Amino acid sequence: MPSTYSFDVVSVVNMQEVDNAVNQAKKEIEQRYDFKGSKTEITLGEDEIKVASDDEFRLNSVVEILKAKFIKRGISPKALDLGKIENASLGTVRQAGKLVNGISKEKAKDIVAEIKNSKIKVQAQIMEDQVRITGKNKDDLQAAITLLKGKDFGIDLQFSNYR
């Protein structure tokens, strides 16, 4: 029986599911009446999604469709960090969104600080783009998971490698 237990706090996006969600959103936009004749497009890059449309209203509609498809595919909408809306050529507008894969140093520091402030008897350490939490008692680890699920750090957190 191990003397310490641990788990990792990660933020990972399944790119195959993102691709599926983008393709479903494209199909819905092609079929919707309010988008007939519009210059609306969604482009999936390596770690970003670009959305372009005729006006801000349609652009916001496309983003909402995309987020709905994300939710249907089991991807958190927090995985898409949208930038500001920019004017493009020929009176169109565009918006770029970065796919959040991994926990940034600032967010990891917030998670570690939250764990330390909670007085739960566990240790948290930052390991590149994830946080490892260790403790002697499984119940303390469960309490740490519950604490982190209750807080909003602005990213989607998953808990893996529980041992």
Q: List the one residue out of 30, 42, 38 whose CA is nearest residue 82.
A: 42
Q: What is the pLDDT of residue 1?
A: 55
Whole-angstrom distance, CA of residue 139 vs CA of residue 98? 36
CA pseudo-torsion sign 82, 127, 8, 145: negative
**Spatial separation of the C-alpha atoms in residues 158 and 83, rounded to whole Å:** 24
Output the pTM of the full model. Answer: 0.84
pLDDT at 2: 64
User: What does each of the 163 residues of the chain score in pLDDT, given as a tens digit?
Assistant: 568 899 999 999 999 999 999 999 999 999 999 888 888 999 999 889 999 999 999 999 999 999 999 999 999 999 999 999 999 888 889 999 999 888 999 999 999 999 999 999 999 999 989 999 999 999 999 999 999 999 998 888 999 988 8
- Tell me whether residue 163 is exposed, middle or buried, using C-beta atoms within 10 angstroms of its C-beta: 0 to 12, 13 to 18, 19 or more: exposed
Round to whole Å and give the CA distance between 103 and 2: 28
Give residue 74's pLDDT: 92
The answer to whether the CB of 67 falls within 8 A of the CB of 77 is yes
Is residue 155 within 8 A of residue 11, CB to CB? The reply is: yes
Nearby residues of 156 by Cβ (< 8 Å), 6 or more positions away = 11, 13, 75, 76, 78, 79, 100
**What was the pLDDT predicted at 90?**
83
Q: Which domains does the chain have, with CATH numbers?
A: 5-12+102-160 (3.30.70.860), 15-99 (3.30.70.990)
Between strands 5-10 and 80-82, the pairing is unpaired
